[in-house]
Chains A and B, each alone.
Chain A
Amino acid sequence: MDENNLIKMELTVNGEAVSMIVKGGRRLLDFLRDDLHLTGTKEGCGEGECGSCTVHLDGQSVLACLTPMERAIGCSVLTIEGVGSPTNLHPVQAALLDEGGVQCGMCTPGMVMSALDLLERNPDPTIEEIIEGISGNLCRCTGYKKIIYGIQQAAQELQAASPAGTVKESVE
């Protein structure tokens, strides 16, 4: 063991290979923000309650504030920086803007990551399913309705855009 607990972080972040020697023994959230400067992932409560730090680890939504950074070695991490771009927003991001689902913005990255996780599993969610899908994400500005409508709108757009046959069976 190195005196300073230096470790090699080798993983994929937002589709790009990362390999760097950094201080270990921290949270995935600290690695993303402090070492990679991916500050879109927010620290809200820091105790797994608010969902602001939601990222995808090997395709599953997790809380970066409760994930030891070494857990991500060899894995694929998706953060909000890997979703759309300022000039080419992901439909979920665009719909949140359209519906007024963004105010202070603190919860938005986590909200988008949870919405993506939901829509991947369930492309045609009911309102109840959307509420359940984002129930691990707190927003203190919007009252949630505009976020829920935004996700519903994005689901409809993504459904309309996806080629026939790839859409999950809808309820009759």
Chain B
Amino acid sequence: MLYRKYEVAQTLPEALSLLSSHNGAVVRPVAGGTDLILQLHERILSADVLVDISRVPELRGIRLENGQLVIGAATTYTEISRSDLVLKNAFVLAEASKKIGAVQIQNMATLGGNIGNASPAADAIPGLYALQADVVVCGPNAERRIPITEFHQGYRKIDLNPGELIKEIRFAIPAEGTGTAFYKYALRKSQAISVVDAAVCVQLSDGVIKHATVALGAVAPTIIRSPAAESVLIGEPPSEDLFDRAAEAACQDARPIDDIRGSAAFRKYLVGVCTSHAVRSACERAA
């Protein structure tokens, strides 16, 4: 048995109350289950009670609110990659969603799950760093809004208290003239964990990069921004030479390790490859 009891929450208050109503028991929320059920099956984690939050309306869907895009935590990658709001305003997230697992995983797995699982190779998170998104968490008494760069505190360490749930992601709609892109290097096109990936937002104004964010995945204990690459880009017109210099700068900010998917040296090289591809695509889309 993977768990002793399964409870389905219909509303957010009910989900929060179910999460805190089992004294002494290990209670975990489950949405897509693609990480959790595997970790229970392989006994990496244990659980007494699972609280199914996949149908809680407050945690689902994508909407515009006061110039911000809001994505519910239990929204699946299939929903994100097909959303007109995402395709129009945050293409990087649609692009990344199509690279996660394959169709079946995209139908099941959720954005909130990717944030909570906090893998440094999580494919949806670099885009959220590049979009400067906030994570909204809610507990029995209050909501908190935390920049995603602070929500991920360290290797698989997140700023979430017992009894709290990841509710949604929010970010300002990028300004006019912004292009976004995600580029992933993995050993296969599908069903593969990133060796390195990069997500980029650039805003062009009069042919010059006015604003740039560069995020890198799988090269540090968490997803990271690359301030060095960003400062190379800002104030310059897009060119192949600029992309090369941004790639070099990004390599300086990466702190990769050796593991089964690639050596640290190979990853350093790939940071350049991924960064230049992503910056080039973002600039093309911004123009």
The reply to whether the CB of B52 lies closer than 8 angstroms to some CB of chain A is: yes
Q: Are A70 and B8 in contact (CB under 8 A)?
A: yes
Q: Are A114 and B6 in contact (CB under 8 A)?
A: no
Chain B interface category by residue count: 20 to 34
The reply to whether the CB of B176 lies closer than 8 angstroms to some CB of chain A is: no
Query: Which residue of A71, A117, A118, A138 is within 8 Å of B33 (Cβ)?
Result: A71
The reply to whether the CB of B30 lies closer than 8 angstroms to some CB of chain A is: yes
B73 to chain A, nearest CB (A): 17
Q: Are A23 and B104 in contact (CB under 8 A)?
A: no
Residues of A122-137 at the interface with B, using a CB-CB cut-off of 8 Å, are 132-133, 135-137
Stretch in B36-44, B61-69, B232-240, B272-280 touching the partner: B36-44
Of all chain B residues, which has the CB nearest A63?
B104
Q: Are B34 and A5 in contact (CB under 8 A)?
A: no
The reply to whether the CB of A54 lies closer than 8 angstroms to some CB of chain B is: yes
Residues of B1-36 at the interface with A, using a CB-CB cut-off of 8 Å, are 1-6, 8, 30, 32-34
Q: Are A132 and B38 in contact (CB under 8 A)?
A: no
The reply to whether the CB of B202 lies closer than 8 angstroms to some CB of chain A is: no
Query: Which residue of A1, A54, A73 is within 8 Å of B4 (Cβ)?
Result: A1
Q: Are B108 and A68 in contact (CB under 8 A)?
A: no
On B, residues with C-beta under 8 Å from A are 1-6, 8, 30, 32-34, 37-38, 41-42, 50, 52, 54, 78, 101-105, 107-108, 189-191
5 chain-A/chain-B pairs, Cβ below 8 angstroms: A25-B1, A54-B104, A66-B38, A68-B33, A136-B103
